[in-house]
Structure formats: structure tokens, C-alpha cells
Structure 1
């Protein structure tokens, strides 16, 4: 397959490819779906104090509004990612959107906290849509449009959080918290109709045997880790229950890894992680996700602390949500600059640069937080760094794996991100709790500073790891390429342009050498 054929026919070269207006609408539709899922997933966090008071539950119990969504999202992501590598990508997306609509309606009509949790759990299925949307983009769009769509999709989680917080706060103050879920039901219902009209039908690609055993094992690990990380602060990190649950997860993981390596058609092909590009994205995505949730909830809570406490700004729920608008906007702007930066400076420094920008923003606010405007500026800086980092990571995976493995590989990456967000949420709560004096409802300012400095340190670690990993062996590869005959240089340059964007597939490179 030539590279020109690759561009014309999409990475898979088969299936029902949309034409005309449907083709032009495909990229925007995928981005709309991804953004709405991120907004809906954030409908829980700002409402935690309100719902705890309304339903008569503790704040720690009410935090399950966020935890259950992240957990079901982590469960759904690898399953949907593997299914998206088959012929029924459209069916997977519509089923997930349908689950989210039902979940929003259940939450809006709930008469108690238990039904609200059920609704939020159904909404979490939508978090598994990102790898599916990326697989659809790669299969049906040209490399340039596909690269743009995937870069935008990869930052929708951060954009959704930045938009969802103030939107939720505004709706909750105008109506009540149920209004936020009615909003979710209506908007996601509209995206369901749009997806049903625009998305291509069944593709002519082979079905894959579903790895039931692997799916069961990894699901148990995800559930166990989610519960342990969410409850360990209340149980005690060294309590028998917490340690026992962590140990059980390690045992299950030890069983899952060799099983996935042995099976012929695994849920997640762990051999891909041997590729340094994939390992870079997976490791960096996990670490920066932990840092992300050591920043966002901490800043939102900090600005709401009454100034009489000696720090904080006594901001309302709406104003504290608006603090994250620069974060969302900067994420999107950063994803637009990625292609320009890549053409000018290459791919290796993209993740390190974004991580260092994020580290600078979080460290600055940890050391300087005397004015409210600083919170707005810092979230914008951190958002630009996070957007640059998140937008770059999927390209590292996509250029390293065959098109038929896109959903599975990006699905595993999304699972690691979800676990990182859960861990970051648990760590931020633990740090603030450790700095809260006995009998006080609010932590000392040192708690916020420690959490932010920890986030900055994790971002620096992400920068170092993501710079070192792809560079190992780079010198040997450069010497090998220099020794190739001059006649193949033009072809190599053409392939490098596609590969650098993440859209020259393994299958294409193999066929071009024949």
C-alpha cells in the first residue's frame, strides 16, 4: 500500500467510509461527543456538598458521585476500545450514548442517593467513548484531519472539566442539582441523534474474539483499586481492609498480565507497551493525570475558603467554577498549536514541554496565592501545558501500533488515565486531611501548598520520563538510517512526515518495504 493510497482510503482502507457532508461533519461530531461526555462526567464534583446536604449523607459518601463515574469509565474503556477495533464502531458509540442519556434521566428523577449513584454509574460508560472516537477518526479520515481530531479528542477530558464545573454551578444555583442532569440528558440526546446520522455504518473488517477472561480480571482490578483509593483515607491507608484490597488487586494483576501475553487475541495487547513510544504515552498519561486531580479540585476548594481564615477568597460556587474556564480554553488553544510545533521542532520535546509548563503553573500558585486573579492566570498556564501534553500523547501510540489495534491501545491508555485521576483525587483528599487540625472543617494553607507542589513534582517527573524513554537507542537508529542508500531517502522523508503525525501505520510501513 502506498502512502497516497493510505491517505485516500483511510488507515483501514475498508468499510463504509462517509462521503460529502457526512464526511465533513464526522470530525466535529466526534469532538462534540467527546466533549459532552467530559462535561457530563464532571457534573458530580461541584454538586457533592449540595447533594450531601440534600440527601443527608456524609461528604466522603457523597464523593462516590465522582468515584462511581470514574470507575465505570475505567471498566468500560478497555471493553469499548477492543470492540471499536471490529466492524461495529457506530453501534458501540450509540450504545454508550444511550447509556449516558438513561443515566442522566435516572439521576434527574432519583428519589434518593442510591438511585443517584446508579445514574452516575451509567453516565460513566460514556468515558469509554474516547478510544472509540479515535479509532473512528483513524479509520475514516485523512491523516491530517485524523491527527487534528485525535489531538482535540485527547484534551476533551480537561476541556470538559473546565466547562462542566462552572456550568454545573450555574444550573444548580438557578434551579437545583437535578437541573444539571436534565441538561445532560437533553444535550447527550441531541448528540445521539447527530451520531446516528453522521457516523459510518458497519465496516468490512473482521470481527475479533472477545477476551472474556482478560476483561473479567482487569475489571476486578479496576474496581478494587477504585474502591481502595476512594475509601483508604477513611479506613486508614495502613488498615487491614485497605492493604488487603491493594494486595488482592496485585494478585489479580499478576494473573492478568501473563494471561494477556499468552492469549491469541487479548483484550489489551501488552506487547505494545514494549514499544517506547507507547510506554512513554502510557506512563506520562498516568502521572500527569494524577497531577491534574491534585490541581483542579484543590484550586476550586482554595478559592472558596473564607478570607477570614487567613487565606482563600470566599468565592461563590459559580466564581470558583469560572476559575477553570481559562484551563479549558487553554487546553483547546494548545491542541491547535501542536501541529505547528511538531513541524518546527519534532515530536520528542512535546510532552516534556507541556509537562514543564504545567509544573510551572502549579508551583507558582503554591508559592503565590494572595489575589484571586492569580488563580485564573495559573489555571490558564496549567491548562496550556496540560493541553499540549494530552494532545501529543495519543500520537505516540497511534504511530507505533497497527490501525487494527488503535482502539485497544488507546483504550489501555485511557484506563491508566482514569486510574491516575482517581489516585490524584484520593491523594488530594489525603493531603488536605493530613493538614486539617482536629475539630476544624478546613485545612491549613500548607495542605493546599503541599498538594500543588506534589502536582508540580509529578509533572516534572513526567517531563523527564517522556524525554528519556523515546531517546533510548535513538543514536543507533540515526546511524542505521544514515547508512541507507540515498535512493530511499525521498520515500523515507514522505513516510516520516506521516509517521511524525502518528498516522503512518505499522501495516503501511511493512507493505511499503515489500
Structure 2
């Protein structure tokens, strides 16, 4: 049967493919984000089921984030070449295999292997953006890229309550079983709808650069997630931090000298791209800090003198307003962006996130107040995430979309890890000896840290607005860039 367009005429094959492509791209990005977040609500259940410590169970989340951050720049470079479709399919196949390992009745070590394989899929969102920019023209492509950026974040809010409910009903294997089902569907969706990359592309992955970046990122994320190491073995932590800086510095030098860089460092150094990445980093610290504070506060029992004492599942529902309002904000952003310059819009979004911190700092005694704070956070994060790609891609060549956006994801991941770690450090400092839970005032102190982070983000975005002012001189790095409608 011939497809019919909105005007009643026969739709072209290109239009039909585009109509299938958008939901497939969004679904794949949502799945990899949700599956990546499965470790968060299951840590306690994993420790109980596999008879391991909570620190060991924490690696079901840490290993996923680490593999995602390490794999993302490699996938981004491969996605800039002629084999993007094959890269997407192979990556999803690895994720499906990893999902199967989490479900099979195997020892704990195999669960970690499976979660590590699942984390590789976190690098696919940047490739989805590259597909959208190549194959969806005009405003449709820009709106799809904005939506992909949003669902890659709000997907965590979808996975958290579902995983918690399935764990309560059928155990931890049932929750991971959900991951296997949706990743298999995502693979089939990609097989059916993702097109080949345009002709004339080329991309090579330098092994030396990839290894240097992987080692540096591993140390950064490891140190960000091990708060106990900083408090109990500060000298070791400092040495590892110095090694991480040296590795990343060597990587930067090697990338500048390489004819086939993993990440186009010169493009990343463009003032607009660098400013956007800095805003992403600091904003990521604030966003994940508030997510950590609210979910932890919601599950604190009444015996601590505060908190809501919610079960894991009900606490997961606190994330529903975050995901719902974040998605709505992402859908509305392309329309609003036609009237407001992107950096100013980013600054306004950061202010909204700061408003979520203020609400949490001043009113958090009931679950309803936590729902409201989480909803405000969702509005700010959703609009920020939707507008950010347009700022970066406005000065980025089309062929480098996947690579540059993958680097942005890495920056965001480091920000998330530091946000979670900073929250843990502040709450640990506010925990009296012999007590299992921090003092209520420690949450207020942590919220103040978040307000400071959002203030820095706002200032960075306002500085971006000055860079992009109509009277500003064009920079050489923007030569050859293809400006998207959202830029």
C-alpha cells in the first residue's frame, strides 16, 4: 500500500523512511538511557541476592558509567565514518548480549560483565544525533536532535521506578529482564530503520589516543565515585588524580598531532563549543547532585528525625515528574527557541534548575514538596538539554556531529559523577559519629553547593551569549559549519 502524506497525496519513500526514523531514534536513545540507569535502584537488592557488600554491588552502576564514558568517544569517531549503521547495530548487539548476561543465573562477576556491556550503549545517543542531522532536513532534524538530548537524560526517570517495581514483584533478575526485552526491540528497530551514512565519509580510530583517553577517563570517573578513598586515603587519591591529568594531557597533545584524531580537539576548542561544554559540566554537577539528594532524602526513615521513609518503588515515583516535565520542556523548547537566543535560553534553564535547589533547601518535609522540586528540576534540565545541541552544532561541520556530541556526553558524565560524589561528601561530613544518617542540615548545605553550581552555569551561558552576539566577529573554526535551525 502506498503511503499517503498529510495533504492526501502519495508520500515519497524518503518521507516514509523519515517518519519511521524519528520514533526509532528516540526509542533507541530512551532504551540505552533507561538500561544504563537500572543499576541505581537495584544496588541493595543485588547485594542481598548475590551475597556481596554494598560497595561491590555499587559496581553494577559504576562499571556501566565507566564503560559508557570510555566507549562514547570511540563510537563517536566511528559514527563520523562510512560504517555508522554497522557501528550502531554491533553496539546494540553487545548491549543485548550484556542484558542476557544480567538475566542468566550466573555468578556476580558475570553480572558485572553484563552491566559493563550494557554501558557501551550509552555512547549511541551521539550517533543518533548524527543520523538525524544527516537524514532529517530543516527544523525536523533540529527538533529530533533536541528530543534525543532530552530523552537521554529523562530516560533515567523511566527506568528507576519500573526497575524498583519489578524487583519488588519478581526479584532483581526480573528487573534486568526488562532491559533484555527493550534492548532486543531497540536492535530490531535499528536494523529496520537506521540508514547508511552519506557517501564520502572517512574515519579511523587511533589505538594510542583511544587507550590514553580511556585510561584518563577511567581514573577521573573512578575517583569521582569513590568518596571513601578521598576521606581515608587522600595521598593515594591525589596521586591517581595527578596521573589522570597527565594521561589526559598526553592524549590532548597526541590528538593535536594526529592526522586521524579520535576527537577533533580544534573543534572542541572553539570558544562556543568549549563554553557549552563547560556549562554542561557544571550544570551536570548541579543536576545530578539534586537528583541524588532528593532520592536519598525520600528514602530516609522517620527514625532519623526527618525524611519521608518511602520504599524504593515509591521513591522511584518521585522521578516521574522529573521525566514527564523534562520531556514536555524538551518538546516545547524548539518553538520557544525561535524567539530567544540559545545561550540566553540556557541561562534561563539553569536558573530554573537553581529554583529546584531553592525549593529543596526551604521546603522538603513532605513527599509532595519533593515531587514539586523534582518537577522544577525536570523543567530546567529538559529545556537545557534540548537547547544545548543547537549551540554546539551551529559551529560544527555536519560530518563531525557524532564525534563532537560524544565528547559533550563524556563531559556530562564526568559532571554527573562529580555531582553524585560531592553530594556524598557533604552528607558524609554532616553525619555524626555512630549515626547511620546525616543531619538534616547537611542536605541544606549540599543544596547550597548546588545553587552555587547553577549560578556558575548561568554566568557561563551569559558569557556564551556575548560570544554569539550579532556584532561578534566570526571565528575560523566555524568555517564549513552547517547551522541548524536550533543554532
Structure 1 unaligned segments of length 5 or more: list them: 1-16, 481-495, 503-514
Q: From the superposition, tell whether residues 392 and 473 of structure 1 become closer, same or farther in structure 2 (CA, over 3 Å).
A: closer
Q: CA deviation at 1:475?
A: 6.5
Q: From the superposition, tell whether residues 18 and 59 of structure 1 become closer, same or farther in structure 2 (CA, over 3 Å).
A: farther
Matches within 5 A, 1:125-164: 125-164=120-159
Q: From the superposition, tell whether residues 140 and 472 of structure 1 become closer, same or farther in structure 2 (CA, over 3 Å).
A: closer
How many pairs does the alignment contain?
471
2:283 pairs with 1:298: no
Q: Which moved more, 1:179-188 or 1:424-433?
A: 424-433
Give the equivalent residue in structure 2 for 1:380. Answer: 375
Give the equivalent residue in structure 2 for 1:501. Answer: 486
Q: Find the aligned partners of 1:273 and 1:201 in 2 and give their Cα distance.
A: 26
Q: CA deviation at 1:354?
A: 0.6
Matches within 5 A, 1:185-334: 185-201=180-196, 203-234=198-229, 236=231, 239-334=234-329
Q: From the superposition, tell whether residues 110 and 356 of structure 1 become closer, same or farther in structure 2 (CA, over 3 Å).
A: farther
Q: Find the aligned partners of 1:88 and 1:362 in 2 and give their Cα distance.
A: 44
Q: Find the aligned partners of 1:256 and 1:470 in 2 and give their Cα distance.
A: 30
Q: Find the aligned partners of 1:417 and 1:398 in 2 and give their Cα distance.
A: 16
> 1:34-77 CA deviation, whole Å, 9 max, x = no partner?
00111101100001111122223222222211111110000111
2:403 pairs with 1:408: yes
Match of 1:69 among 64, 75, 91: 64
Q: Which moved more, 1:97-106 or 1:430-439?
A: 430-439
2:358 pairs with 1:367: no
Give the equivalent residue in structure 1 for 2:435. Answer: 440
Q: Find the aligned partners of 1:498 and 1:248 in 2 and give their Cα distance.
A: 39
Match of 1:78 among 73, 78, 82: 73
Q: Find the aligned partners of 1:74 and 1:18 in 2 and give their Cα distance.
A: 37
Q: Find the aligned partners of 2:247 and 2:87 in 1 and give their Cα distance.
A: 27
Q: CA deviation at 1:308?
A: 3.1
Give the equivalent residue in structure 1 for 2:16. Answer: 21
Structure 2 unaligned segments of length 5 or more: list them: 1-11, 475-480
Q: Find the aligned partners of 1:199 and 1:77 in 2 and give their Cα distance.
A: 19
Give the equivalent residue in structure 2 for 1:352. Answer: 347
User: 3-state SS of the aligned residue for 1:266?
Assistant: coil
Q: Find the aligned partners of 1:62 and 1:182 in 2 and give their Cα distance.
A: 18
Contact 1:277 1:400 in 2 (8 A): yes
2:85 pairs with 1:90: yes
2:457 pairs with 1:462: yes
> 1:130-180 CA deviation, whole Å, 9 max, x = no partner?
110000101111121111111011111321111111111111111001111
Contact 2:157 2:322 in 1 (8 A): yes
Q: Which moved more, 1:227-236 or 1:412-421?
A: 227-236
Q: From the superposition, tell whether residues 234 and 348 of structure 1 become closer, same or farther in structure 2 (CA, over 3 Å).
A: closer
Structure 1-normalised TM-score?
A: 0.88
Q: Find the aligned partners of 1:340 and 1:88 in 2 and give their Cα distance.
A: 34
Contact 1:67 1:422 in 2 (8 A): no
Structure 2-normalised TM-score?
A: 0.92
Q: From the superposition, tell whether residues 396 and 473 of structure 1 become closer, same or farther in structure 2 (CA, over 3 Å).
A: closer
Q: Find the aligned partners of 2:13 and 2:165 in 1 and give their Cα distance.
A: 38
C-alpha RMSD over aligned residues: 2.1
User: 3-state SS of the aligned residue for 2:339?
Assistant: helix
Q: From the superposition, tell whether residues 327 and 317 of structure 1 become closer, same or farther in structure 2 (CA, over 3 Å).
A: same
Q: From the superposition, tell whether residues 314 and 29 of structure 1 become closer, same or farther in structure 2 (CA, over 3 Å).
A: same
> 1:210-261 CA deviation, whole Å, 9 max, x = no partner?
2222111101101111222222424537622211111111111121112111
Q: From the superposition, tell whether residues 57 and 326 of structure 1 become closer, same or farther in structure 2 (CA, over 3 Å).
A: same
Q: CA deviation at 1:285?
A: 1.1
Contact 1:232 1:242 in 2 (8 A): no
